Amino acid sequence: MNPEKWIHLCIDMQRMFAEGTPWQVAWMPKVFDQVAEVAARFPDRTIFTRFVPPASPEELPGMWRAYYEKWPMMTTAELEPDLVDLVPELKKLVPPAHILDKTTYSPWTGGRLHGALTRQDIGTLVVTGGETDICVLAATLGAIDLGYKVILLKDAVCSTTDQTHDASLELLGNRFSVQVEVISTERWLSLV
Protein backbone atom coordinates (compact mmCIF):
# COMPACT_ATOMS: atom_id res chain seq x y z
CA MET A 1 0.00 0.00 0.00
CA ASN A 2 1.30 3.38 -0.99
CA PRO A 3 0.12 6.06 1.47
CA GLU A 4 0.70 8.70 -1.22
CA LYS A 5 -1.91 7.10 -3.50
CA TRP A 6 -5.47 7.88 -2.45
CA ILE A 7 -9.10 7.56 -3.46
CA HIS A 8 -12.25 9.33 -2.32
CA LEU A 9 -14.66 6.84 -0.74
CA CYS A 10 -18.09 8.48 -0.61
CA ILE A 11 -20.52 6.53 1.55
CA ASP A 12 -24.21 6.11 0.67
CA MET A 13 -25.17 9.53 -0.71
CA GLN A 14 -28.40 8.05 -2.04
CA ARG A 15 -31.88 9.35 -2.70
CA MET A 16 -33.38 7.07 -0.02
CA PHE A 17 -31.33 8.94 2.59
CA ALA A 18 -31.83 12.39 1.03
CA GLU A 19 -35.58 12.24 0.42
CA GLY A 20 -38.71 11.63 2.49
CA THR A 21 -38.29 8.01 3.58
CA PRO A 22 -38.08 6.56 7.11
CA TRP A 23 -34.29 6.55 6.63
CA GLN A 24 -33.98 10.19 5.59
CA VAL A 25 -30.85 11.86 6.98
CA ALA A 26 -31.91 15.44 7.62
CA TRP A 27 -28.29 16.59 7.87
CA MET A 28 -27.38 15.51 4.36
CA PRO A 29 -28.01 18.96 2.82
CA LYS A 30 -25.63 20.52 5.39
CA VAL A 31 -22.66 18.49 4.11
CA PHE A 32 -23.68 18.04 0.50
CA ASP A 33 -21.68 20.94 -0.95
CA GLN A 34 -18.44 19.63 0.56
CA VAL A 35 -19.09 16.07 -0.63
CA ALA A 36 -20.00 17.28 -4.12
CA GLU A 37 -16.92 19.50 -4.32
CA VAL A 38 -14.54 16.64 -3.55
CA ALA A 39 -16.32 14.26 -5.93
CA ALA A 40 -16.52 16.83 -8.73
CA ARG A 41 -12.84 17.76 -8.43
CA PHE A 42 -11.73 14.12 -8.42
CA PRO A 43 -14.39 11.99 -10.17
CA ASP A 44 -11.77 9.58 -11.51
CA ARG A 45 -10.63 8.97 -7.92
CA THR A 46 -14.13 8.63 -6.43
CA ILE A 47 -15.93 5.44 -5.44
CA PHE A 48 -19.55 5.90 -4.38
CA THR A 49 -20.99 3.16 -2.21
CA ARG A 50 -24.70 2.37 -2.30
CA PHE A 51 -26.51 0.53 0.48
CA VAL A 52 -28.85 -1.83 -1.39
CA PRO A 53 -31.64 -3.47 0.64
CA PRO A 54 -32.94 -6.94 -0.24
CA ALA A 55 -36.28 -7.52 -1.94
CA SER A 56 -37.57 -9.19 1.24
CA PRO A 57 -36.29 -9.90 4.77
CA GLU A 58 -36.08 -13.63 3.99
CA GLU A 59 -33.21 -13.03 1.55
CA LEU A 60 -30.78 -12.20 4.35
CA PRO A 61 -29.47 -14.26 7.27
CA GLY A 62 -29.54 -13.76 11.01
CA MET A 63 -30.21 -10.35 12.45
CA TRP A 64 -30.35 -8.74 9.00
CA ARG A 65 -33.64 -10.60 8.58
CA ALA A 66 -34.93 -9.09 11.83
CA TYR A 67 -33.68 -5.67 10.74
CA TYR A 68 -35.73 -5.75 7.53
CA GLU A 69 -38.73 -7.20 9.36
CA LYS A 70 -38.61 -3.91 11.30
CA TRP A 71 -38.17 -1.89 8.05
CA PRO A 72 -40.22 -3.78 5.40
CA MET A 73 -41.08 -0.50 3.63
CA MET A 74 -37.36 -0.12 2.87
CA THR A 75 -36.97 -3.42 1.00
CA THR A 76 -36.54 -3.12 -2.75
CA ALA A 77 -39.87 -4.90 -3.25
CA GLU A 78 -41.65 -1.95 -1.59
CA LEU A 79 -39.25 0.95 -2.12
CA GLU A 80 -39.37 2.99 -5.32
CA PRO A 81 -36.38 1.55 -7.26
CA ASP A 82 -34.90 4.96 -8.13
CA LEU A 83 -34.51 5.78 -4.44
CA VAL A 84 -31.58 3.34 -4.22
CA ASP A 85 -29.68 5.52 -6.73
CA LEU A 86 -27.17 8.18 -5.86
CA VAL A 87 -28.51 11.70 -5.60
CA PRO A 88 -28.64 13.12 -9.16
CA GLU A 89 -25.79 15.63 -8.74
CA LEU A 90 -23.41 12.80 -7.82
CA LYS A 91 -24.83 10.20 -10.21
CA LYS A 92 -23.85 12.40 -13.16
CA LEU A 93 -20.18 11.91 -12.16
CA VAL A 94 -20.40 8.18 -12.97
CA PRO A 95 -18.31 7.46 -15.02
CA PRO A 96 -15.49 8.22 -14.47
CA ALA A 97 -16.47 7.77 -10.80
CA HIS A 98 -17.38 4.22 -9.81
CA ILE A 99 -20.24 2.68 -7.83
CA LEU A 100 -19.83 -0.13 -5.32
CA ASP A 101 -23.07 -1.74 -4.16
CA LYS A 102 -23.16 -3.30 -0.71
CA THR A 103 -25.78 -5.06 1.39
CA THR A 104 -24.20 -4.37 4.78
CA TYR A 105 -22.94 -1.28 6.58
CA SER A 106 -19.35 -2.05 5.63
CA PRO A 107 -18.08 -1.79 2.05
CA TRP A 108 -15.36 -4.34 2.90
CA THR A 109 -17.65 -7.38 3.12
CA GLY A 110 -16.90 -9.70 0.22
CA GLY A 111 -13.45 -8.28 -0.52
CA ARG A 112 -14.23 -6.52 -3.83
CA LEU A 113 -13.24 -3.06 -2.62
CA HIS A 114 -10.03 -4.17 -0.94
CA GLY A 115 -9.07 -6.20 -4.01
CA ALA A 116 -9.61 -3.26 -6.36
CA LEU A 117 -7.66 -0.87 -4.15
CA THR A 118 -4.82 -3.34 -3.70
CA ARG A 119 -4.47 -3.71 -7.48
CA GLN A 120 -4.13 0.09 -7.71
CA ASP A 121 -1.68 0.26 -4.78
CA ILE A 122 -4.00 2.65 -2.91
CA GLY A 123 -2.95 3.36 0.68
CA THR A 124 -5.15 6.28 1.73
CA LEU A 125 -8.92 6.76 1.74
CA VAL A 126 -10.55 10.18 1.90
CA VAL A 127 -13.97 9.44 3.44
CA THR A 128 -17.20 11.42 3.08
CA GLY A 129 -20.92 10.60 3.25
CA GLY A 130 -23.33 9.16 5.74
CA GLU A 131 -24.07 8.18 8.34
CA THR A 132 -21.09 9.05 10.52
CA ASP A 133 -22.11 6.64 13.28
CA ILE A 134 -23.15 3.71 11.07
CA CYS A 135 -21.83 3.16 7.53
CA VAL A 136 -19.02 5.75 7.71
CA LEU A 137 -17.91 4.22 11.01
CA ALA A 138 -18.03 0.68 9.56
CA ALA A 139 -16.09 1.76 6.46
CA THR A 140 -13.46 3.53 8.55
CA LEU A 141 -12.96 0.71 11.04
CA GLY A 142 -12.70 -1.81 8.21
CA ALA A 143 -10.13 0.38 6.46
CA ILE A 144 -8.10 0.61 9.67
CA ASP A 145 -8.16 -3.18 10.06
CA LEU A 146 -6.89 -3.59 6.50
CA GLY A 147 -4.04 -1.11 7.02
CA TYR A 148 -5.27 1.95 5.15
CA LYS A 149 -4.70 5.53 6.24
CA VAL A 150 -8.07 7.30 6.54
CA ILE A 151 -8.64 11.02 6.08
CA LEU A 152 -12.13 11.72 7.41
CA LEU A 153 -13.55 15.03 6.24
CA LYS A 154 -15.48 16.11 9.33
CA ASP A 155 -17.69 18.64 7.53
CA ALA A 156 -18.48 16.17 4.73
CA VAL A 157 -19.99 13.41 6.89
CA CYS A 158 -23.47 13.45 8.37
CA SER A 159 -25.79 11.62 10.70
CA THR A 160 -29.29 11.94 12.09
CA THR A 161 -28.18 12.65 15.64
CA ASP A 162 -25.67 15.18 16.94
CA GLN A 163 -24.63 13.11 19.94
CA THR A 164 -23.56 9.95 18.10
CA HIS A 165 -22.08 11.94 15.18
CA ASP A 166 -19.91 13.93 17.58
CA ALA A 167 -18.99 10.81 19.58
CA SER A 168 -17.98 8.97 16.39
CA LEU A 169 -15.72 11.82 15.25
CA GLU A 170 -14.16 12.00 18.72
CA LEU A 171 -13.64 8.23 18.84
CA LEU A 172 -12.07 8.06 15.39
CA GLY A 173 -9.95 11.17 15.82
CA ASN A 174 -8.68 10.38 19.30
CA ARG A 175 -8.56 6.61 19.74
CA PHE A 176 -7.39 5.93 16.18
CA SER A 177 -5.21 9.02 15.72
CA VAL A 178 -2.35 7.06 14.16
CA GLN A 179 -4.60 5.64 11.42
CA VAL A 180 -7.26 8.36 11.05
CA GLU A 181 -6.90 12.07 10.43
CA VAL A 182 -10.07 14.11 11.01
CA ILE A 183 -9.89 17.45 9.19
CA SER A 184 -12.09 19.92 7.31
CA THR A 185 -12.72 19.65 3.60
CA GLU A 186 -11.19 23.09 3.00
CA ARG A 187 -7.99 22.12 4.84
CA TRP A 188 -7.65 18.84 2.96
CA LEU A 189 -8.27 20.48 -0.42
CA SER A 190 -5.55 23.03 0.36
CA LEU A 191 -3.08 20.16 0.82
CA VAL A 192 -3.91 18.19 -2.33
CA dist 126 and 107 (Å) reads 14
Q: Please state the rounded mean pLDDT for residues 141-157.
A: 98
For the chain, what percent of residues have pLDDT higher than 90? 97
- Residue by residue, DSSP assigns 13-44 as -BHHHHSSSTT--TTHHHHHHHHHHHHHH-GG
CA dist 171 and 159 (Å) reads 15
Q: Under DSSP, is residue 120 helix (H, G, I), strand (E, B) or coil?
A: coil
pLDDT digits (tens, 9 = 90+) for 73-117: 999 999 999 999 999 999 999 999 999 999 999 999 989 999 999
Q: 122, 114 in Cβ contact below 8 A?
A: no
Dihedral class, residue 154 (left if φ above 0, else alpha if ψ from -120 to 50, else beta):
alpha
Other Cβ atoms less than 10 A from the Cβ of 2: the count is: 10
Question: How buried is residue 182: exposed, middle or buried, by Cβ count under 10 Å (0-12/13-18/19+)?
Answer: buried
Q: What is the structure's pLDDT at 3?
A: 78
Q: What is the structure's pLDDT at 1?
A: 83
pLDDT digits (tens, 9 = 90+) for 4-63: 899 999 999 999 999 999 999 999 999 999 999 999 999 999 999 999 999 999 999 999
Q: Bridge-partner residues for 98, per DSSP?
A: 47
Q: What is the structure's pLDDT at 184?
A: 98
**Highest CATH level, class, for 2-53+86-191:** alpha beta
Per-domain boundaries in the chain: 2-53+86-191
Q: 60, 103 in Cβ contact below 8 A?
A: yes
**Confidence (pTM):** 0.96
The angle formed by the CA atoms of residues 131, 63 and 117, to the nearest 5 degrees, is: 50
pLDDT band at 189 (very low <50, low <70, confident <90, very high): very high
Write the CB contacts of 127 (distance below 8 Å, at least 6 apart in sequence): 9, 10, 11, 136, 139, 140, 143, 150, 151, 152, 153, 157
Write the CB contacts of 40 (distance below 8 Å, at least 6 apart in sequence): 93
CA dist 112 and 107 (Å) reads 8
